[in-house]
Amino acid sequence: MKVQVDSSKCQGHNRCMIFAPEVFEVDDYGFASAQRGGEVPAELADKARTAAANCPELAIVISED
């Protein structure tokens, strides 16, 4: 699985950090990006999906591979 944060949509709600702090990180302004270049370890896949489902801006894009 890969995950990306669409920076044009992210508004800094930081719900992704609540649900999957091992997958995302935030900058000094509170905007999120994906750790590890977007590669999600299998054991964190469910957390990444939960974070994506809870982003109010639908800024998190998941691609299954």
Contacts with ligand F3S by CB under 6 A lie at: 5, 10-16, 32, 55, 57, 59-60
CB of 3 to ligand F3S, least distance (A): 10
CB of 18 to ligand F3S, least distance (A): 8
Q: Are 11 and 26 in contact (CB under 8 A)?
A: no
CB of 41 to ligand F3S, least distance (A): 19
Read off the DSSP letter of residue 17: H
Closer CB to ligand F3S, residue 6 or residue 39? Answer: 6
- Please state, in angstroms and rounded to a whole number, the distance separating the CA atoms of residues 3 and 62: 5
Q: Cα torsion for 3, 8, 11, 13, to the nearest 10°?
A: -10
